[in-house]
């Protein structure tokens, strides 16, 4: 199965960074070793960096300076001198600057990961009239293939360059790490959780209003646990303090990666109600947290926005609702609170779906097939 080829991953976002792109690139490198003789990573050196692959001799790290300009000059110099461009597959974390540097350096087999937000213009006239229609269109057309994290993101690529070669490849999760755990429950509360960066477009305020609108008999049965940090955290706390649910809402702050399975498993239901707005560059290109919760056997509710429909399969461990539809979420919550057996069955379906369709191993297998086709 392993070819006499090299995989070069170029990504400025890489551990110890903890964002979605860094995690995706980490998982790709972790799982792709059966397919390549050599694996190399070109990334920006960060203070306190530790190589997370000490048991993988195939991975070689190449570091760039922290300053962007210096990093790009060094990357271009290194790539121009690359010894065997023909037998190197280059996988880029972003189309800019990662893939642009690879193309300018003359690399032959360039593949690009697409995530969503980086393809939007928002209200920027520069991005709308120059960056996307000229630079992004050129770059996306130069790549051998654009690997989009959802059908939504693939459509964004096609809007910029209809001729670009694309594929929608929904992300995966590690089902050996994110898994059901035995949790001792001290009460019979219906525990709801939300985990994400606390930004207004993530819809925390909408969830709060929906919970507040529940009949009193339902409100008495619930708790809402919120994990994450961000600029909307303090405004959200002030909103929560004014509601009748103030004593039933818990803020957990930052939850480390190692503590995530425990956090998900302590709850009955995961909700994230992300918004999508035409003039904004903020969008949920996929929604990895939905897969993490499902892998732990926790059913999920998400909105029909961005790429969330690729992270949640209706009727198989999750439900999709319309953006900001308070009545729809209220009725669904009442139904689930009344039917704990339905919630548990949905959690089992969610776990099964992840095992069958959404592991990182399956994702990388499909990724490699797309890079070879």
Among 348, 315, 349, CA closest to 332? 315
pLDDT band for position 97 (50/70/90)? very high
Percentage with pLDDT > 70 across the chain: 96
Indicate whether 366 pLDDT > 60.
yes
Q: Which residues pair with 318 in a beta bridge?
A: 300, 314
pLDDT beyond 50 at 32: yes
Confidence of residue 12 (pLDDT cuts 50, 70, 90): very high
Q: Which pLDDT score is estimated for 163?
A: 98
**Which pLDDT value is given to residue 137?**
98
Percent of the chain surpassing pLDDT 90: 83
Choose from 46-55, 181-190, 364-373 the range with maximum mean pLDDT.
364-373
What would the pLDDT profile of 66-96 be if each residue is shown by its tens digit? 899 999 999 999 999 999 999 999 999 999 9
> Residue 167 in contact with residue 147, Cβ under 8 Å?
yes
The string of pLDDT tens digits covering residues 115-134 is 999 999 989 999 999 999 99
* The pLDDT value given to residue 53: 40
Beta bridge partners of 3: 36
pLDDT at 54: 39
* Position 3 pLDDT exceeds 80: no
Averaged confidence pLDDT in the chain: 93
In this predicted model, what pLDDT tens digit does every residue of 296-317 receive, in sequence order?
A: 999 999 999 999 999 999 999 9
Residues 187-193 have a mean pLDDT of: 94
Residue 238 or 47, more confident: 238
Confidence category of residue 59, pLDDT binned at 50, 70, 90: confident
Tell me what pLDDT residue 50 has: 46
Distance CA(44)–CA(49), nearest Å, equals: 10
Q: How confident is the model at residue 213 (pLDDT cuts 50, 70, 90)?
A: very high
For residue 55, the model assigns a pLDDT of: 46
- The average pLDDT across 25-46 equals 91
Whole-angstrom Cα distance, residue 105 to residue 317? 46
- Answer whether 156's CB lies under 8 Å from 119's CB: yes
Residue-level pLDDT at 57: 55
The band of 277, judged by pLDDT with boundaries at 50, 70 and 90, is confident
Tell me how far CA of residue 308 lies from CA of 133, 193, 273, 285, 356, in angstroms. 26, 17, 10, 7, 19
Q: What is the radius of gyration, based on Cα positions, of the chain?
A: 22
3-state SS assignment for residue 245:
coil
Q: Are residues 116 and 285 in contact, defined by beta-carbon separation less than 8 angstroms?
A: yes
pLDDT digits (tens, 9 = 90+) for 241-274: 999 999 999 999 999 888 999 999 999 999 999 9
Tell me what pLDDT residue 273 has: 96
Residue 320 has pLDDT above 50, yes or no: yes
Q: Confidence band (pLDDT; 50, 70, 90) for 221? A: very high
**Residue 67 to residue 122: CA distance in whole angstroms:** 26
pTM of the model: 0.91
Query: How far, CA to CA in Å, does 243 sit from each of 110, 155, 213, 330?
Result: 52, 40, 10, 16
């Amino acid at each position: 199965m392993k070819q006499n080829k090299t995989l070069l991953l170029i990504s400025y976002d890489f551990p110890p960074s903890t964002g979605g792109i860094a995690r995706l690139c980490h998982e790709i490198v972790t799982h792709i070793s059966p397919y390549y003789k050599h694996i190399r990573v070109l990334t920006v050196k960060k203070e306190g960096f530790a190589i997370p692959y000490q048991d993988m001799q195939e991975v070689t790290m190449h570091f760039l300076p922290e300053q962007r300009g210096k990093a790009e000059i060094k990357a271009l110099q290194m790539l121009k001198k690359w010894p065997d461009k023909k037998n190197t597959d280059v996988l880029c974390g972003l189309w800019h600057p990662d893939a642009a540097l690879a193309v300018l350096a003359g690399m032959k087999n360039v593949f690009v990961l697409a995530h969503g937000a980086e393809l939007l213009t928002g209200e920027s006239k520069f991005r709308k009239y120059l960056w996307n229609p000229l630079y992004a269109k050129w770059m996306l057309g130069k790549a051998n293939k654009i690997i989009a994290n959802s059908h939504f993101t693939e459509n964004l690529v096609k809007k910029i360059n209809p001729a670009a070669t694309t594929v929608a490849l929904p992300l995966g999760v590690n089902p050996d790490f994110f898994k059901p755990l035995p949790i001792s429950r001290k009460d019979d509360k219906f525990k709801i959780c939300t985990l994400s960066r606390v930004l207004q477009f993530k819809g925390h305020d909408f969830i709060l209003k929906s919970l507040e609108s529940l009949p009193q008999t339902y409100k008495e049965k619930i708790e809402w646990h919120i994990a994450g940090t961000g600029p909307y955290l303090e405004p959200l706390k002030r909103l929560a303090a004014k509601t009748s649910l103030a004593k039933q809402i818990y803020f957990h702050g930052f939850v480390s990666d190692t503590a995530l399975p425990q956090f998900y498993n302590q709850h009955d239901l995961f909700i994230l109600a992300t918004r999508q707005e035409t003039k904004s560059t903020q969008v949920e290109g996929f929604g990895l947290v939905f897969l993490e919760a499902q892998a732990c056997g926790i059913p999920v509710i998400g909105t029909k926005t961005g790429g969330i429909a690729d992270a949640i399969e209706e009727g198989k461990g999750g439900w999709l609702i319309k953006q900001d539809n308070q009545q729809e979420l209220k009725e669904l919550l009442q139904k689930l609170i009344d039917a704990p057996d339905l919630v548990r069955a949905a959690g089992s379906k969610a776990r099964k779906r992840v095992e069958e369709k959404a592991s990182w191993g399956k994702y990388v297998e499909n990724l490699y097939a797309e890079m070879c086709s």
